[in-house]
Structure 1
């Protein structure tokens, strides 16, 4: 399902006004962390990790598990929170606007035969971590965080949220 029912219901009241939504990204790695599972989005053709909107009352990690099943028909284990960040404002073709608080999780593939299980994606493929397809910078940052061997989650600051300075600039 492309747009969750709760968002459609909100849109009846707020029209195209910006919505602040929680999102979940699953960086799905194979057991030896040599490959990552990516999906090709039907709406723009870009390769991305599995992503989706967190439903009301749903834990973001549970959303990552659900989205992996819905989009690629795979079972995963969520290993850790890898990063949090805020997307840019997104304006969809119908004029709807939204901005997302993303929760990126490092996940391990547990089973299933990956395929585009819903209409949101046209392809699902494993890629070697050292041979990824062209990715948007924010998605590459999520993948890098998900593949990193770190104990703590990264906080991905945008230039705007860092007071006009590049993230990490003093």
Structure 2
């Protein structure tokens, strides 16, 4: 996966220490099908995900990542979910965790393809016939395809116990 220049600059200062980042997940819908990409780094199918650039509006980041990674033009319709991912440790030892904003997006044009080397495949999948995915990614897609107009905000079990 291509690492943005601003993160490479931060890594020069902090090394592999934990880095808190903002990210987006774009769940692009076309009729009753969802756009998925097969990641080049680990072979898993996911909705399009990516890091928000400094100063970039999150919805713009979602649309940008969809175009960069799949060649599809999509328009964010609504914020579907806000959550924190589990910590991630990359093969090089870099540690990070993401505040992830999940957007439901509508397809506008383009045929999906692996456009930038971050994915090996991209395509449309019927909602009732998705490839195997992580439980976390399934939750993101479910939030985006639900009829709820308000975003879902996940609360950790520990926070719920403190309330």
Q: Normalised by the shorter chain, which TM-score bucket?
A: over 0.9
Q: Deviations over 1:72-92 (max 9, x none)?
A: 011001000000000011000
Structure 1 71/160 Cα, relative in aligned 2: closer, same or farther at 3 Å? Answer: farther
Q: Which residue of 2 aligns with 1:115?
A: 113
Q: Which residue of 2 aligns with 1:157?
A: 155
Q: Which residue of 1 aligns with 2:11?
A: 11
What stretches of structure 2 of length at least 5 have no aligned partner?
none
Where in structure 2 are the equivalents of 1:10-159 lying within 5 Å?
10-30=10-30, 32=31, 34-159=32-157
Structure 1 57/114 Cα, relative in aligned 2: closer, same or farther at 3 Å? Answer: same
| Cα displacement (A) at 1:161 | 4.8
User: 1: CA distance between counterparts of 2:97 and 2:158?
Assistant: 14
Q: Which has the higher helix share?
A: 2
- How much is the aligned-residue C-alpha RMSD, in angstroms? 1.5
Structure 1 35/59 Cα, relative in aligned 2: closer, same or farther at 3 Å? Answer: same
Is the contact made by 1:18 and 1:99 (CA closer than 8 Å) also made in structure 2?
yes
What stretches of structure 1 of length at least 5 have no aligned partner?
165-169
User: 1: CA distance between counterparts of 2:69 and 2:160?
Assistant: 33
User: 2: CA distance between counterparts of 1:26 and 1:163?
Assistant: 31
Q: Deviations over 1:10-69 (max 9, x none)?
A: 000000010000000000000x2x100000011111100000000000011110000001
SS at match of 1:17: coil
Total equivalences in the alignment: 163
User: 2: CA distance between counterparts of 1:112 and 1:131?
Assistant: 22
Structure 1 135/160 Cα, relative in aligned 2: closer, same or farther at 3 Å? Answer: farther
| Cα displacement (A) at 1:162 | 4.1
User: 2: CA distance between counterparts of 1:56 and 1:17?
Assistant: 20
